[in-house]
């Protein structure tokens, strides 16, 4: 292990906890907070409205018991955890949110929002199910406009075209930067560990000064690249180290027993695909100011290859491209218990992996520690198999 | 229904020179298929189909979705011309992506709510796309006049179903709920709409012509929730062999779809289709205000003593909506409510009988 890890990594790993104080400070200084659940949320509009955005996806098992007084037990832990936090007022982010935005990404969330709406002021955005411009753009633009109007009414503000244009250009900049984080994984050996990527992407949801956040991430990126050029890598160079892509939805809450274990056991996560991964980072919003900004925002988000859409060919193409570009040896799909969209779609990804000649490991888990041992064993076996394949291939 | 019967029905349609489209959901606008002369077969829970789901789907998926998956992969549907993949619930929508022969799978987008501005235009545009699809795929032309004509027929079919249900309003109700559900299940798969209407009307006449087999003391139960197709014997028997009678079935096979109405005099037929299908009290709608209104109305009309909410394993739309449903019954309607989480297996039959008996005694 290198001893010169970029110093800001820690800031991101700790951001979720540190953010508790920051958000209270923001509130005390009279700022408005917008809680969100998903990459599908048009961040541009929230920024244009002058709101501070924070992620509300539950990552802890603690509030699940409370949630189960209102929700079925056989439901995704992220949904239960998010709702449980709001119900027992145990999450400062939900507590301080002036408004909560939810997208109808899955049946469970969509229906949970109806209950959450009884506790918090909510804006629900309905998503299209068929990812086709001709068939869905109109309805989607309509929902994006309704969301904009909703924020204007709730906060008694006017969101101007200029504000939207500024937000579009800023968010594109952030997107390019986020893609760069994943692109560090293309190096061989990778210039950043998958655990650090995960920490940064998860942690940045809880940092509220956009410029400070941007600069910190930039320093990390530059440092990682400089380290790599100087022969300092996050792992010992090892030609047989399995290069993996991790994908799925909402797995931040299970990182300790999945993502962290993969790297602890000698795998390198070179890229993330899916919910908070490379998926939505490489598509930018059109910056042509002569066109309607809300239409341009809608166009971009319609292309998010989330499992909410069917048929999700765009995601399959992306899985194929990501495997190729990051030279992956294996694919790990982490889905949460009872998450139908991502779990069922894993079968389709398995087919793509098969066609690409790489193995897939599907881990279905939740936020409880009970399956740690079993997951560890499966990951170890998976890594061993890939390692052997790489050794065999090298000796042929 | 068993697979051989379904296969025979499909063969018969093809022998008459008709195309066959398979639907697993009542969100699909039937008028368009009727207008095109395509046999829209609304397939119920299939018995005896070969297991395909366990190889394709995670185990924790709703049994009705698994059954659709099995049916699509089974020989009995091998000759069907079109499979309508409606984007109703997550499980089904994603399952449709995995079944073989994707060239005959058509995704029909279902709106997710009834109270949003986008909903009517979306249904209209999806209906137009469907019309184009039938033209491109089969060379069939659907005119506005033919949709209007089909709408009138479908209204008659809807009417024949609600009329059959209405015989339960009297005291004692005219029949066992099982008899009514069984009849509707058997009739819905008939390819000719005239036959379906006639069969429903005939059942009504037959059941009314005899003396009611239901004792006056039977507790009047409204059944709501998930599709009942794969488990009606289990659920309805548990009610009707333990002191109750199903007087109203608010499920998508019966009232949810039958209370809709196509306005044949509307200026624009696509507008009429949107009005009709927007009015679906299905739990994928968020919020599903229509269901709560419908339950309230039916509870009164059928003088209901208790409400039984059927929830299939991992059906998130209904299992999550359960909390609101239970509050509606307790706080607003003041009608005893029993939620039943179950699947299509027989393993919980005894336990169900015990719970439901206790519920009946309480009424």
- Nearest residue of A to residue B102 by CA position? A311
Q: How many beta carbons lie within 10 A of that of residue B275, not counting itself?
A: 18
Are B22 and B80 in contact, with CB atoms under 8 Å apart? yes
Q: For residue range B320-358, what is the model confidence (pLDDT) as tens digits?
A: 999 999 999 999 999 999 999 999 999 999 999 999 999
Percent of chain B with pLDDT over 90: 99
Sign of CA dihedral A184, A190, A192, A194: positive
Find the CB nearest B91 among A136, A146, A344. Answer: A344
Task: For residue A313, count CB atoms less than 10 angstroms from its CB and return exposed for 0-12, middle for 13-18, buried for 19 or more.
Answer: middle
pLDDT of chain A along its 396 residues, tens only? 344 556 677 777 788 778 888 899 999 999 999 999 988 899 999 999 999 999 998 889 999 999 999 999 999 999 999 999 999 999 889 999 999 999 999 999 999 999 999 999 999 999 999 999 999 999 999 999 999 999 999 999 999 999 999 999 999 999 999 999 999 999 999 999 999 999 998 888 888 899 999 999 999 999 999 999 999 999 999 999 999 999 988 888 899 999 999 999 999 999 999 877 887 788 899 999 999 999 999 999 998 888 999 999 999 999 999 999 999 999 999 999 999 999 999 999 999 999 999 999 999 999 999 999 999 999 999 999 999 999 999 987
Query: Is the pLDDT confidence value at B252 over 70?
Result: yes
Chain B residues touching A294 at Cβ < 8 A: none
Are B220 and B173 in contact, with CB atoms under 8 Å apart? yes
Which of B283, B225, B291 has the alpha carbon at shortest distance from A107?
A: B283
Contact check, Cβ <8 Å, B57/A310 = no
Q: Which residues contact A210 (CB under 8 A, 6 or more apart)?
A: A47, A170, A174
Chain B residues touching A338 at Cβ < 8 A: 60, 314, 316
Residue with tokens 């209901």: B304
CA A100/CA A121 separation, integer angstroms: 6
For the beta sheet containing B82-86, the strands, ordered from the edge strand earlier in sequence to the opposite edge, are B39-42, B20-23, B82-86, B105-108
Contact check, Cβ <8 Å, A310/B341 = no
Which of B343, B251, B282 has the alpha carbon at shortest distance from B28?
A: B282
Task: For residue A159, count CB atoms less than 10 angstroms from its CB and return exposed for 0-12, middle for 13-18, buried for 19 or more.
Answer: buried
- Nearest residue of B to residue A108 by CA position? B316
CA B239/CA B178 separation, integer angstroms: 10
Q: Give the pLDDT confidence score for residue A304 in this predicted structure.
A: 84
Chain B residues touching A336 at Cβ < 8 A: none
| Global ipTM | 0.94
Supply the DSSP symbol for A279.
G
Are B244 and B228 in contact, with CB atoms under 8 Å apart? no
Are A161 and A294 in contact, with CB atoms under 8 Å apart? no
According to DSSP, the residues that pair with A332 across neighbouring strands are A246, A361
Does the N-terminal peptide bond of residue A213 adopt cis geometry, omega within 30 degrees of 0? no
Q: Which residues contact B319 (CB under 8 A, 6 or more apart)?
A: A72, A74, A75, B311, B341
Q: For residue range A278-303, what is the model confidence (pLDDT) as tens digits?
A: 877 888 999 999 999 999 999 999 98
Q: Which residues contact A106 (CB under 8 A, 6 or more apart)?
A: A76, A307, A308, A339, A340, A341, B90, B316
Contact check, Cβ <8 Å, A139/B121 = yes
Average pLDDT, chain B: 97
CATH fold for domain B3-145: Rossmann fold (3.40.50)
Contact check, Cβ <8 Å, B109/A75 = no
Which of B103, B110, B85 has the alpha carbon at shortest distance from B23?
A: B85
Are B256 and B286 in contact, with CB atoms under 8 Å apart? no
Task: Render the burial of A40-77: b for 16+ CB within 10 Å, e for the rest.
Answer: bbbbbbbbbbebbbbbbbbbebebbebbeebbbebbbb
Given CB atoms, is A180 within the 8 Å cutoff of chain B? no
Contact check, Cβ <8 Å, A139/B98 = no
Q: CA-CA-CA-CA torsion for A141, B280, B47, B50, nearest 10 degrees?
A: 0
Q: Give the pLDDT confidence score for residue A5 in this predicted structure.
A: 56
CA B12 to chain A, closest CA, distance in angstroms equals 32
- List for chain B the helix, strand, coil content (%; round to 5): 50, 15, 35
CA distances for A271 relative to A132, A277, A345, A389, angstroms: 27, 7, 19, 20
Which of A250, A251, A262 has the alpha carbon at shortest distance from A375?
A: A262
- Nearest residue of A to residue B121 by CA position? A139
Supply the DSSP symbol for B31.
H
Task: For residue B341, count CB atoms less than 10 angstroms from its CB and return exposed for 0-12, middle for 13-18, buried for 19 or more.
Answer: buried
Q: Best mutation site among B60, B127, B274, B316 for testing chain A: the one with the most A CBs within 10 Å?
A: B316
Chain A residues touching B52 at Cβ < 8 A: none
- Residue ranges covered by each domain of chain B: 3-145
Helices (H), ranges, B210-268: 232-240, 255-258
Q: Give the pLDDT confidence score for residue A253 in this predicted structure.
A: 86
CA A149/CA A153 separation, integer angstroms: 6
Does the N-terminal peptide bond of residue B252 adopt cis geometry, omega within 30 degrees of 0? no
Which of B254, B77, B260, B281 has the alpha carbon at shortest distance from B182?
A: B254
Q: Which residues contact B19 (CB under 8 A, 6 or more apart)?
A: B13, B36, B37, B38, B39, B81, B82, B138, B140
First to last CA, chain B: 34
CA B307 to chain A, closest CA, distance in angstroms equals 19
Q: What are A26's two structure tokens? A: 């923001």
How many interface pairs between A and B have CB atoms less than 8 angstroms apart? 138
Which of B210, B188, B213 has the alpha carbon at shortest distance from B199?
A: B188
Q: Best mutation site among B101, B104, B121, B286 for testing chain A: the one with the most A CBs within 10 Å?
A: B286
Q: Which residues contact B333 (CB under 8 A, 6 or more apart)?
A: B295, B296, B299, B307
Q: Give the pLDDT confidence score for residue A160 in this predicted structure.
A: 98
CA distances for A133 relative to A295, A299, B103, angstroms: 12, 8, 20
Are B89 and A107 in contact, with CB atoms under 8 Å apart? yes
CA A21/CA B345 separation, integer angstroms: 52
Chain B residues touching A74 at Cβ < 8 A: 60, 313-314, 319
CA B291 to chain A, closest CA, distance in angstroms equals 14
CA A288/CA A293 separation, integer angstroms: 8
Residues in chain A: 396
Find the CB nearest B87 among A310, A344, A347. Answer: A310
CA A229/CA B167 separation, integer angstroms: 82
Find the CB nearest A135 among B116, B129, B323. Answer: B129
Q: Give the pLDDT confidence score for residue B115 in this predicted structure.
A: 82
B231 phi and psi, to 5 degrees? Answer: -140, 20
Sign of CA dihedral B25, B28, B32, B36: negative
Given CB atoms, is A107 within the 8 Å cutoff of chain B? yes
Q: How many beta carbons lie within 10 A of that of residue B214, not counting itself?
A: 22
Chain B residues touching A73 at Cβ < 8 A: none
């Amino acid at each position: 292990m290198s001893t010169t890890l970029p110093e800001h990594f820690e800031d991101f790993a700790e951001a979720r906890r540190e953010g508790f104080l920051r958000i209270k400070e923001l509130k005390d200084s009279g700022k408005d907070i917008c809680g969100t659940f998903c990459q599908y949320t048009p961040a541009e509009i929230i920024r244009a409205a002058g709101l501070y955005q924070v992620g509300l996806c539950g990552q802890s098992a603690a509030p699940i018991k409370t949630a189960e007084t209102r929700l079925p037990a056989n439901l995704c832990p992220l949904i239960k955890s998010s709702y449980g936090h709001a119900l027992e007022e145990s999450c400062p982010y939900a507590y301080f949110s002036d408004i909560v935005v939810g997208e109808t990404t899955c049946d469970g969330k969509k229906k949970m929002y109806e209950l959450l709406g009884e506790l918090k002021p909510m804006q629900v955005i309905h998503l299209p199910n068929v990812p086709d411009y001709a068939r869905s753009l109109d309805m989607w633009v309509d929902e994006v406009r309704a969301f904009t109007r909703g924020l204007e009414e709730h906060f008694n503000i006017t969101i101007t075209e200029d504000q939207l244009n500024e937000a579009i250009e800023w968010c594109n900049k952030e997107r390019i930067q986020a893609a760069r984080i994943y692109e560090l994984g293309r190096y061989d050996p990778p210039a950043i560990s998958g655990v650090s990527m995960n920490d940064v992407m998860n942690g940045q949801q809880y940092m509220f000064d956009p410029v400070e956040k941007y600069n910190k991430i930039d320093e990390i990126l530059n440092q990682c690249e400089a380290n790599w050029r100087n022969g300092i890598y996050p792992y010992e160079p090892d030609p047989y180290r399995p290069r993996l892509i991790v994908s799925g939805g909402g797995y931040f809450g299970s990182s300790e027993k999945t993502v962290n274990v993969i790297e602890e056991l000698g795998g390198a996560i070179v890229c993330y695909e899916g919910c908070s991964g490379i998926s939505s980072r490489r598509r930018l919003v059109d910056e042509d100011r002569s066109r309607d900004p809300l239409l341009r925002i809608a166009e971009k988000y319609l292309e998010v290859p989330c499992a909410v859409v069917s048929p999700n060919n765009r995601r399959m193409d992306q899985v194929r491209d990501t495997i190729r570009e990051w030279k992956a040896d294996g694919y790990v799909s982490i889905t949460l218990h009872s998450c139908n969209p991502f779990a069922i779609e894993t079968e389709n990804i398995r087919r793509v992996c098969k066609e690409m000649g790489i193995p897939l490991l599907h881990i279905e888990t939740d936020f409880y520690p009970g399956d740690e041992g079993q997951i560890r064993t499966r990951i170890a076996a998976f890594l061993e198999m890939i390692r052997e394949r790489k050794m065999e291939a090298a000796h042929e | 229904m068993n697979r051989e019967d379904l296969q025979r029905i499909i063969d018969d349609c093809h022998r008459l020179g008709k195309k066959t489209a398979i639907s697993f959901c009542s969100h699909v606008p039937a008028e368009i298929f009727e207008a095109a002369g395509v046999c829209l077969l609304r397939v119920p829970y299939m018995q005896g189909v070969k297991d395909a789901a366990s190889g394709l789907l995670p185990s924790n998926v709703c049994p009705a979705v698994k059954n659709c998956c099995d049916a699509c992969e089974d020989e009995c549907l091998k000759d069907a011309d079109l499979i309508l993949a409606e984007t109703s619930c997550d499980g089904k929508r994603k399952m449709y992506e995995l079944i073989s022969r994707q060239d005959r799978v058509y995704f029909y987008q279902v709106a997710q709510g009834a109270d949003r501005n986008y909903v009517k235009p979306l249904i209209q545009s999806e209906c137009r796309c469907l019309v184009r699809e039938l033209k491109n795929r089969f060379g069939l032309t659907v005119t506005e006049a033919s949709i209007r004509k089909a709408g009138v027929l479908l209204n008659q079919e809807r009417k024949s179903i609600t009329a059959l249900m209405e015989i339960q309003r009297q005291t004692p109700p005219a029949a066992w709920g099982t008899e009514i559900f069984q009849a509707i299940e058997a009739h819905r798969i008939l390819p000719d709409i005239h036959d379906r209407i006639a069969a429903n009307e005939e059942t009504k006449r037959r059941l009314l012509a005899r003396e009611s087999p239901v004792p006056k003391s039977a507790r009047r139960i409204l059944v709501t929730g998930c599709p009942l197709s794969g488990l009606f014997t289990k659920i309805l028997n548990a009610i009707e062999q333990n002191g109750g009678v199903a007087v109203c079935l608010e499920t998508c096979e019966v009232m949810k779809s039958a209370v809709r109405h196509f306005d044949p005099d509307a200026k624009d037929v696509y507008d009429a289709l949107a009005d009709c299908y927007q009015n679906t009290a299905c739990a994928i709608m968020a919020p599903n205000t229509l269901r709560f209104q419908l339950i309230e109305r039916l509870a009164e009309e059928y003088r209901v003593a208790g409400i039984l909410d059927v929830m299939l394993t991992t059906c998130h739309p209904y299992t999550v909506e359960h909390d609101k449903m239970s509050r509606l019954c307790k706080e607003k309607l003041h009608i005893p409510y029993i939620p039943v989480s179950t699947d299509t297996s027989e393993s919980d039959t005894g336990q169900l009988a015990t719970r439901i008996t206790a519920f009946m005694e309480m009424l």
